[in-house]
Amino acid sequence: MDLKRLSKHLGLSQTTVSRALNGYPDVSAATRERVTNAAREVGYSPNPLARRLAKGRLEAVGVIMSVGVGNFGDPFYSEFLAGVAEVFHQADMDLLVVAAPTGEEELSAYRRMVEGRRVDGLIVARTRTKDPRINYLLERNFPFVTFGRSGESAQHAFLDMDNEAGFIQVTERLIDFGHSRIALINAPEDLHFALLRRHGYERALRDAGLECDPELIVEGDRGEVDGHRLAERLLGLDRPPTALLCASDAMALGAMRAVKECGRTVGTDVSIIGYDDLPFAKYTEPPLTTLHQPIRPAGAHVAEMLLSRISGSTIEDLQDLWQPRLIVRESDGICHSK
Amino acid sequence: MDLKRLSKHLGLSQTTVSRALNGYPDVSAATRERVTNAAREVGYSPNPLARRLAKGRLEAVGVIMSVGVGNFGDPFYSEFLAGVAEVFHQADMDLLVVAAPTGEEELSAYRRMVEGRRVDGLIVARTRTKDPRINYLLERNFPFVTFGRSGESAQHAFLDMDNEAGFIQVTERLIDFGHSRIALINAPEDLHFALLRRHGYERALRDAGLECDPELIVEGDRGEVDGHRLAERLLGLDRPPTALLCASDAMALGAMRAVKECGRTVGTDVSIIGYDDLPFAKYTEPPLTTLHQPIRPAGAHVAEMLLSRISGSTIEDLQDLWQPRLIVRESDGICHSK
DNA sequence: TTTACTTCTCAAAGCGCTTTGGGTCGCTAA
DNA sequence: TTAGCGACCCAAAGCGCTTTGAGAAGTAAA
């Protein structure tokens, strides 16, 4: 059923029916009522394509997942998208998602979205310090908000976890436990959050007057596997660390294995702290101390920010920092080495 | 830049330019060349809205994630969507995703998609035996393909893992190890795959002439938590099981904890087998024996199936069953109880 | 020279909405 | 009585494409 037939059926013009349905004030209450009822009865709903074409708004937003090869098990997007999707659904906006591997192809996916006029705005996650996607969007002056800051954060809307504060907190915790050789098993530092985490780590170390041994800072991107590999290497050092700060629970899990394999015990001999608070973290042995971040709510919040960005809010009002929450379990503790 | 301006610029009609760009045979090679070049130069790309409106095709498909509360950490959709999204991106189709909790609201999300003419087809995952979404789509005769079978599988396109075969295999494996009291910690059985897994389990038991004790079949839906709770209960039975077959790695992880808590050791005293082969499964203690299913490729395949369904393929040609792959690690073994 | 095709191009009619820019009608105020 | 003003309603012009139905030009056959 389309507008034409509906209006014919009602003996009214398309104009009037359209305006009645869209809440314009220049139609009488009686007419509006009649129209609304009829519309409901015959199950009329406007063709969104036609509506959008006429209005010149897309009523759609997009998110481009940057997928790696085989980083299965990363629950991030599941949760994040759930939050995002729900908000846009409420707002009657379409959410387009595409998956592209980081790199040239990724950028072309962005171009397709903006130059192909498919969406009114974009969400970008997994931000990098030097992020070509952000530069691109900035220079096209296209509405977007990021989850995570970047090198250009001042110029765009974002929600981010306060990674620096989080890592200051956990590093201080380890220092308080008496650890002085604390290693950082970080994510690749082109990811901006990883950089900030290192800053937090170094800052806490410096503030406590501790040496900041570059040998103790390593990075990798393959979760458990790299966590294991890197921890192994660290523990083999002449002066091995007594605590391992990991950029993710997955890495922490790999690190745990490495610790056990060289005959020491996690929590007493060497402390481990993760990040993410994945459900399995409660069930590792020992249960993993970690930092919690509410991904789903974050997704929802980013979505809301984009909505208000699109409707004209200024960037300054759209820059939020959330605090991660420390979840104390049993994988860390007092330093027993001399 | 729009068609009108481009064609004016070229001194041609919109018709010709349009047809040149869309590969119609009735335009001379020279003209086509001229048009294509000009289009590239000025960066022309057709407005998808207008195109779709004119063609009467939406060039979009949708997937509705059924999100529960707080089932964070479920990497399923991350992987699945990555596969799906990539295929549709290649095919130049938009992928719409919405998230809705199971129930009435979920169904209305489906209605919005089909009656609101937003997509040409849908993908439905996490199918249930009696699945109102499937019934709805069936009765509207709307193109869709599911990941997972349902009570109505005969009537729709699907890709599914052969859950029954998978569970026959692992159950037989445990039987071969000498286990006779094997428990099944299942997902809620309204999820069709859970039902099929039980069938496989029961079938293997019967074929081996073993008793099929209903006391040993339990279900839950909260991953680690329920795995732990249910295993605890099972181990407290008068005649406790010596093997726990779990519907997911998450549950298996919870179950492992329960086993250890009551002082027995996983793999020798009680065998545990999971399902999913999440990355952490390699790093549990002991490493978890499990069934692997390739989610990302599955997503991609489902997407391709939908594409061919939309372009007219018959349902019979679109019903595939993939075999899960057994990953043997160390959480199961010979039964040592008398 | 016609006739009959090809080959290439185009004007115009949609697709299903929204919006602009008037109208018409009945009332009040002058 | 008439101008002026709300309150309602409508015809028509887009939005930016695709597609239909035909026309013009050139070529080959008769």
Q: What is the CATH number of the domain that holds B82?
A: 3.40.50.2300
Identify from B276, B280, B282, B285 which residue to disrupt to test chain A contact, counting A C-beta atoms within 10 A and taking the largest count.
B280
Residues with CB under 7 A from strand C: A 2-4, 14-15, 18-19, 21-22, 44, 46-47, 50-51, 53-55; B 11-16, 19, 26-31, 50, 53-54, 56
For strand D, is any atom closer than 7 Å to the CB of A231? Answer: no
Report how far residue B113's alpha carbon sits from residue A51's, in angstroms, rounded to the nearest whole number.
16
Q: Cα angle at B28 between B27 and B32, to 5 degrees?
A: 75
Are B222 and B233 within one domain?
yes
Number of domains in chain A: 3
- Interface membership of B218 toward A (CB under 8 Å): no
Residue A191 has pLDDT above 80, yes or no: yes
The shortest C-alpha distance from A211 to chain B (Å) reads: 32
**pLDDT for res A338:** 54
The reply to whether B7 has its C-beta less than 7 Å from any atom of strand D is: no
- What is the rounded distance in angstroms from the CA atom of residue A9 to the CA atom of residue A135? 52
CA–CA distances in Å: residue B266 to residues A267, A330, B253, B336: 22, 21, 11, 12
Residue A13 structural domain: 3-46
pLDDT given at position B73 = 58
Say if A335 falls within a structural domain. no
Do A126 and A183 reside in the same domain of the chain? no
Check: CB of residue A318 under 8 Å from CB of residue A309: yes
Tokens of B10: 């070229």
Structure tokens belonging to residue B272: 């545990």
Contacts (Cβ under 8 Å, ≥6 apart) of A119 = A58, A60, A61, A62, A96, A113
User: Which residues of chain B from 179 to 208 reach within 8 Å of chain A, CB to CB?
Assistant: none
Band (pLDDT 50/70/90 cuts) for residue A297 is very high
Name the residue facing B76 among A78, A98, A228 (closest C-beta): A78
**CB within 8 Å: A86 and B99:** yes
Kindly give the pairing relationship between strand A290-292 and strand A325-327: antiparallel
**Residue B146 maps to a domain:** yes
Q: What is the mean pLDDT of chain A?
A: 94
Nearest Cβ partner for A65 among B85, B109, B295? B85
Tell me, yes or no, whether A186 and A168 share the same domain: yes
Confidence of residue A71 (pLDDT cuts 50, 70, 90): low
A55 contacts chain B (CB < 8 A): no
Specify the pLDDT at position B93.
96
What is the CA angle A329-A333-A336, rounded to 5?
Answer: 155
Say whether both A64 and A136 belong to one domain. yes
Does the pLDDT value for residue A74 go beyond 90?
A: no
How high is the pLDDT of residue B337?
73
Residues B65 and B177 in one domain: no
Interface of A with B in 263-292 (CB under 8 A): 278-280, 282-283, 285
- Which residues of A fall within a CB distance of 8 Å from B65? 78, 81-82, 85
Cross-chain residue pair A49–B224, CB shorter than 8 Å: no
Query: Token pair of A326, please?
Result: 């420390």
Tens-binned pLDDT, residue by residue, of chain B (338 aa): 899 999 999 999 999 999 999 999 989 999 999 999 999 999 999 999 999 999 999 999 999 998 876 555 578 999 999 999 999 999 999 999 999 998 899 999 999 999 999 999 999 999 999 999 999 999 999 999 999 999 999 999 999 999 999 999 999 999 999 999 999 999 999 999 999 999 999 999 999 999 999 999 999 998 999 999 999 999 999 999 999 999 999 999 999 999 999 999 999 999 999 999 999 999 999 999 999 999 999 999 999 999 999 998 999 999 999 999 999 999 999 998 75
Residue A333 contacts by C-beta under 8 Å, 6 or more apart in sequence? A177, A267, A268, A271
A87-133, pLDDT tens digit by residue? 999 999 999 999 999 889 999 999 999 999 999 999 999 999 999 99
pLDDT of residue A1: 85
In a domain, B54, yes or no: no
Q: Which two tokens stand for residue A145?
A: 């908000």
| Long-range Cβ contacts of A130-138 (<8 Å, 24+ apart) | A130/A190, A131/A192, A132/A107, A133/A64, A133/A106, A133/A107, A136/A107, A136/A110, A136/A111, A137/A110
Assigned domain for B331 exists? no
Specify the pLDDT at position B68: 76
Helices (H), chain A: 3-10, 14-21, 29-42, 48-55, 76-90, 104-115, 132-140, 163-176, 192-207, 223-235, 249-261, 295-310
Rounded to the nearest 5°, which phi and psi values hold at A86?
Answer: -60, -45
pLDDT at B75: 83
Nearest chain A residue (CA) to B282: A224
- The CATH number assigned to the domain holding A13 equals 1.10.260.40
pLDDT tens-digit map of A3-45: 999 999 999 999 999 999 999 999 999 999 999 999 999 999 9
pLDDT in tens, A143-172: 999 999 999 999 999 999 999 999 999 999
Residues 296-335 of B with CB under 8 A from A: 296
